[in-house]
Amino acid sequence: MRRGEYILKRLGLAVLVIISVSIITFIIARVVPSDPARTWVGPRATAEQIAKATQKLGLDLPLPMQYLRYMGDLLHGDLGVSIQSRQPILRDLRVYLPATMELVFFSMSLAVFIGIPIGVTAGSKRNTWFDHASRVLSIAGTSMPTFWLGLLLILLFFSKLHLLPIGGRVAREIILYHPVQHITGFHLVDTVLTGNWIAFKDALIHIILPGVTLALYDIGLTIRMTRSNIIEVLSEKYILAARAAGLPNRIVIFRLALRNAIIPTLNLLGLGFVYALTGAIVVEVIFTWPGMGNYVTKAILTADFPVIMAVTLFVTVLYVFINLAIDLLQTAIDPRVALE
Amino acid sequence: MTSMVERWFGSWARKRKSQWEEYGLMGRAFCRDWLALISLLIILIFILGAIFAPHLTPYPEQGRGEPNIAEKLSPPSREHPLGTDRMGRDGLARILFGGRTSLSIGFLVVAFGIAIGMPLGALAGYFGGWVDMVIMRITDVFLSFPALLLAIAIAAALGPSFTNAMIAMAIVWWPWYTRIVRAQTLSLKERAFIEAARGIGVGNLTIITRHVLPNVTTPVLVQATIDVGAAILTGATMSFLGLGVQPPTPDWGKMVDVGRAYMLIAPWDATFPGLSIFLVALSMNLLGDGIRDVLDPHTRRLG
């Protein structure tokens, strides 16, 4: 029953956190120095237009009432309207979210399929040249400014080698002659599902550079954490016992050590997700990738606060759900987690 | 050496002789770690360069922002070792002066984070109960935000400026220190000397300031060193997105943003500021690793 208790507690905590997050986002949004009504109607508005906007936006209500109205809107799926595009923000998000998610999943896959094997090998072969080289890679990856790396890669692969495009997600010819059907919103998946191989190749060459740029930080992080996890697991007594019994090294690693290193790896995925998401903001700007990062950056430049707040809230709630899912998954795999 | 100390400081030093010996061991262990030494050297070079910037370049006004259109976008040469930017300002001067902004935001943010987070963590760990619960809930909520996103939201709401970016980042950073200090305090609370002090009747506040806080500094110090690098990176990212200092004040992140437009014709403009950010962050990371190895009594004696 400890596990059931834990799950309930965890769910309750998540709800509490989401409410607190919305309160904080609301407070930040109201700290804005400029009058939201004035920004809404524009610089050449008359006094009565401003008054009308103030009433329409509910700014004349007391603060707690405003918050309740805000929460009510949120629960109906209304994230507000962008000052820039005058469109409901939710609709903008529906367009931009798949692009960012595709980038995030692509780079997280790179981090998992490159970082974990390297980390495991480095951890099991400590103090060899491979270990030292992977330490260098991991520290360099977590120290490198993402925007700088992106620019360097563009310089190399676009300017000098002419191998990859300078940015964007789809080439114009593809939009005109081989349009991608919208099934999941992920170009890489949709093109495969519809057999649109020309568009698939195009989507691939467009996603490689931004994906790699974004992935480097996560690769560095994954290598470092996987390496220390493996080292910790390998120092356990039962590993020593298995080796003393004569089990070959490969079996020791694959069947014993890895299974127990899975739990911290799940934690790592959650961490990697948030770094990928925030790193995507910068990567999308550099590569003009049409996703949420670009959307938020434009909102910063045009002081479109509803957008900034809505995206912050949306991404944070997403992050809370992901953490919740990871915690519940961990409890399912290893009941000992509930006892902590 | 020890006898000199004894003669000068008398009984106070004699009581702490083993502590001095330990510091000596730390210093020697640190000097054996050449990677950490090189990192320290690089950081010192950047810091000194930032402090003495006006004296290190023949173009101090350009470093501060004076345009020099005649020589704009010229490649690295003998007069301008790092080239010039789009306003003709000398690249090296801009990097030296930009270091003032970019480096100070890193150190200031971590200092504020510790100043806020450490006392809160000590209070939460020491008193427990509802004090602990309230502080930890607040900490958890702030930790639920993706760091950069919260900083962007706060900085955007306050308006783009150096101070606002610093405030925004400090708000994002303090929860980490609360967590670390709380964990350390919890394990420290059960130690005999704390119980003894309480038994004598020493007040809670005195216990916290004289016994708890000095002993939790070790992991905080390691974390702080690595965090300065991360803070410099985050600060540069925020300036890149337009939320830090505004031109013409130089800032490494902003310089990469502005130089981005000329990347294909004048790559030096964006490359060198980015390289500076990378070198500083890398050195702080390596330095933090080195300090961690030195502060751990086992690895200290291994070399």
Domain spans of chain B, in order of start: 46-55+91-302
Q: How far is CA A80 from the centre of its chain?
A: 22
Segments in B128-216 forming alpha helices (H): 129-144, 147-158, 162-189, 192-200, 204-207, 213-215
Q: What is the pLDDT of residue B108?
A: 94
Q: What is the pLDDT of residue B14?
A: 66
Q: Give the other-Cβ count within 10 Å of A284's Cβ.
A: 27
Gap between the Cα atoms of A169 and A177, Å rounded: 16
Q: What is the pLDDT of residue A89?
A: 80
Instruction: Write out pLDDT tens, residues A83-101.
Output: 777 777 888 888 888 899 9
Give A278→chain B minimum CA distance, Å. Answer: 6
Give B235→chain A minimum CA distance, Å. Answer: 11
Q: Who among A148, A297, A303 is closest to B274 (CB)?
A: A148
Report, as an integer, the average pLDDT of A255-267: 72
Q: What is the pLDDT of residue A213?
A: 93
E strands within chain A? none
Partners of A296 on chain B (C-beta within 8 Å) are 152
Gap between the Cα atoms of A134 and A228, Å rounded: 12
Q: What is the pLDDT of residue A217?
A: 92
CB contact under 8 A, A147 and B140: no
Which among B263, B286, B292 is the top mutation candidate for probing chain A, defined by the most A β-carbons within 10 Å of its own β-carbon? Answer: B263
**A39-53, A154-168, B34-48, B136-150: which range is least confident on average?**
A39-53
Q: What is the pLDDT of residue A44?
A: 72
CB contact under 8 A, A151 and B260: yes
Q: How many residues does chain B have?
A: 303
Average pLDDT along chain B, 303 residues, taken 10 residues at a time: 60 69 76 82 90 79 70 75 79 87 92 91 85 89 88 86 90 91 84 78 76 79 90 92 83 89 84 92 89 72 59
**Pair A32, A83: CB distance under 8 Å:** no
Burial (0-12, 13-18, 19+ Cβ within 10 Å), A140: middle
CB contact under 8 A, A154 and B263: yes
Segments in A76-177 forming alpha helices (H): 89-110, 116-124, 129-143, 146-154, 172-177
Instruction: Write out pLDDT tens, residues A280-294.
Output: 999 999 999 988 888
Closest A-chain CA to B157 = A32
Under CATH, which architecture does the B46-55+91-302 domain have? Orthogonal Bundle (1.10)
Closest B-chain CA to A17 = B141
Instruction: Write out pLDDT tens, residues B171-197.
Output: 999 999 999 888 888 888 777 777 787
Instruction: Write out pLDDT tens, residues B255-282.
Output: 899 888 888 888 888 899 999 999 999 9
Q: Who among B146, B154, B158 is closest to A278 (CB)?
A: B146
Closest A-chain CA to B142 = A21
Partners of B147 on chain A (C-beta within 8 Å) are 274, 278
CB contact under 8 A, B236 and A145: yes
| ipTM of predicted assembly, 2 dp | 0.84
Tokens matching residue A105: 């999943």
**A141-155, A193-207, B17-31: which range is least confident on average?**
B17-31
Give B120→chain A minimum CA distance, Å. Answer: 19
Gap between the Cα atoms of B148 and B155, Å rounded: 10
Q: Who among A29, A31, A282 is closest to B240 (CB)?
A: A282
Gap between the Cα atoms of B197 and B209, Å rounded: 12
Partners of B157 on chain A (C-beta within 8 Å) are 28-29, 31-32, 305, 308
**A35-39, A157-161, B60-64: which range is least confident on average?**
A35-39
Question: Using CB atoms and an 8 Å cut-off, which of residues 212-251 of chain B contact chain A?
Answer: 229, 233, 236-237, 240-243
Q: Does B303 touch chain A (CB under 8 A)?
A: no
Q: Who among B152, B229, B286 is closest to A300 (CB)?
A: B152
The model's confidence at residue A37, banded by pLDDT at 50, 70 and 90, is low
Q: What is the pLDDT of residue B204?
A: 77
Q: Does B140 touch chain A (CB under 8 A)?
A: yes
Q: How many inter-chain contacts (A to B, CB under 8 Å) are there? A: 131
CB contact under 8 A, B260 and A278: no
Give A169→chain B minimum CA distance, Å. Answer: 19
CB contact under 8 A, A21 and B141: yes
**Pair B90, B62: CB distance under 8 Å:** yes
Partners of B263 on chain A (C-beta within 8 Å) are 151, 154-155, 159
Partners of A32 on chain B (C-beta within 8 Å) are 157
Q: What is the pLDDT of residue B43?
A: 92
Gap between the Cα atoms of A96 and A290, Å rounded: 6
